[in-house]
Amino acid sequence: MRDEDGTVQSDGDTLGTRATLRRRQLGMSREELAQRAGMSVAYLRQLETFRGDFDPGAVMRLAAALEMPYAELVSGRPDAAPGQAPPAARPVLMRLSEQECWERLGTHGIGRLGLSGGAGPVVLPVNFLVDARTVVYRTEADGPAAVAAGERLAFEADHLDEHLSNGWSVLVQGTADRVTDPHVVRTLAERPGARPWAGGERDLWIRVVPAEVSGRVLRAM
C-alpha cells in the first residue's frame, strides 16, 4: 500500500496499516494526526510504515487521536470480517468435484442461504445438516427462510484460513422441500449440530434438493 505522499506502507493487517486506514477514514493528514497524538511526523511515518515494537504511551495517544480502542489499534478487531490478511504469493484456484464438495461440507455447520425476497435477493446465515447428499436446515414457520416447497434457492458454505490465505467454498443450487414426516423430523432433531445457534422455536425443517453442486478451493503454491 502506498500513502498519499508516496511512502510505501507495510502489507497485511498491522498496527501501521490500521492506523493509516483509520486516519484516512477521518480525513486527516499525517501532519494533523501527529499534532493530535503529540508526536513528530517522522515518528508517525515510522509507526505507519514499519513493523515492530513502539512506545506503548505513544500508541495510546495515537489510539485516542484516531478515536479507536487501544486494543483494536494494536491487535485488530476480533470480530472483523474474514479476509484481513493479504493474498498468498502464488495463489491457485481449482474446482472441486461433487464428491469433494460433499466431503468439505461434512455433516453439519453454518452456511448461507440465498433466496428471492420482496426487495431483491436475500442471503441468510443458517445452521445446516447434510443428509443423504441434501442440505437441511430448520427455521421459524413465519421467518424469512421459511420458503415454500418447490421454490428455487441456493446454499453456500466455506472455510477460510487467515494465516495461509487459502480456503474453499461450496455452492448448492436447487429447490426447497419441506420435511413433514415426524420420524424424519425427530431423527434430524437428534443429530449433532441440529440445535440452531439463534435459539428460539424453529420447528420447520427445509431440505435443499440439489440440482447442481459446485465448489472451488484456493491453495497457496
Q: Give the side-chain half-sphere CA count within 13 A for 55.
A: 10
Q: How far apart are CA 150 and CA 168, in angstroms?
A: 28
DSSP, collapsed to helix, strand or coil, labels residue 191 as coil
Q: What does pTM read for this prediction?
A: 0.73
The DSSP symbol for 107 reads: S
pLDDT tops 80 at residue 6: no
Positive or negative: CA dihedral 94, 97, 100, 106: positive
Length reported for the chain: 221
Q: How far apart are CA 214 and CA 126, in angstroms?
A: 19
Amino acid in the structure at residue 129: L
- Domain at 15-75: CATH architecture: Orthogonal Bundle (1.10)
Q: 174: which strand partners?
A: 153, 210
Q: How far apart are CA 135 and CA 129, in angstroms?
A: 6
Contact 98, 216 (CB under 8 A): no
The arithmetic mean of pLDDT across residues 101-114, rounded, is 96
The whole-number pLDDT of residue 78 equals 78
Q: Residues spanned by CATH 2.30.110.10 within the chain?
A: 91-220
The whole-number pLDDT of residue 51 equals 65
**For 131-148, how does the pLDDT look when each residue is reduced to its tens digit (9 = 90+)?**
999 999 999 999 999 999
The whole-number pLDDT of residue 4 equals 54
Q: Residues spanned by CATH 1.10.260.40 within the chain?
A: 15-75
Contact 107, 192 (CB under 8 A): yes
Q: 168: which strand partners?
A: 159, 217
Classify 91-220 by CATH class. Answer: mainly beta
The whole-number pLDDT of residue 79 equals 78
The whole-number pLDDT of residue 162 equals 80
**For 68-94, how does the pLDDT look when each residue is reduced to its tens digit (9 = 90+)?**
999 889 888 877 787 777 788 889 999
